[in-house]
Amino acid sequence: MTSLSTHVLDAVRGVPAAGVAVWLLRDDQRLTEALTDADGRVKELAAGLNPGDYRLFFDTGSYFAAQGTETFYPEVCVAFTVGEQPHLHVPLLLSPFAYSTYRGS
């Protein structure tokens, strides 16, 4: 069984992105949701994930709207596959007109 965490960094401002709504889906079913903390993290979004394909959604539109910043991406969806690893970390580097993600540790 695998646990999942995430971290969102506002790459333009160079600060953690606090208050970003994040939710996890599998087969279009919402499994869990949370807000990033003051450090831009959700330390345990999910635990006990079975192997398979999942999608992690980030509500970037609301985050930028709260700052009065226009954005091209109202949400970011990261699709990934859970295997046999004990923990997955999915970071998101975010700006109003670009984003990047990778498999963290």
Check pLDDT > 90 for residue 94: yes
CA atoms 23, 34, 8, 3: torsion sign = negative
**CB within 8 Å of 84: residues ≥ 6 apart:** 2, 51
Tokens linked to 51: 């192997």
Residue among 32, 46, 45, 36 nearest 10 (CA): 36
Q: List CB contacts of 22: < 8 A, sequence separation 6 or more.
A: 6, 8, 33, 34, 35, 36, 42, 45, 56, 57, 58, 59
Whether pLDDT at 1 is above 90: no
Higher pLDDT, 84 or 45: 45
pLDDT, mean of residues 5-31? 97
Kindly report, residue by residue over 20-65, the tens digit of the pLDDT: 999 999 999 999 999 999 999 999 999 999 999 999 999 999 999 9
Give residue 105's pLDDT.
83
Q: What is the mean pLDDT of the chain?
A: 96
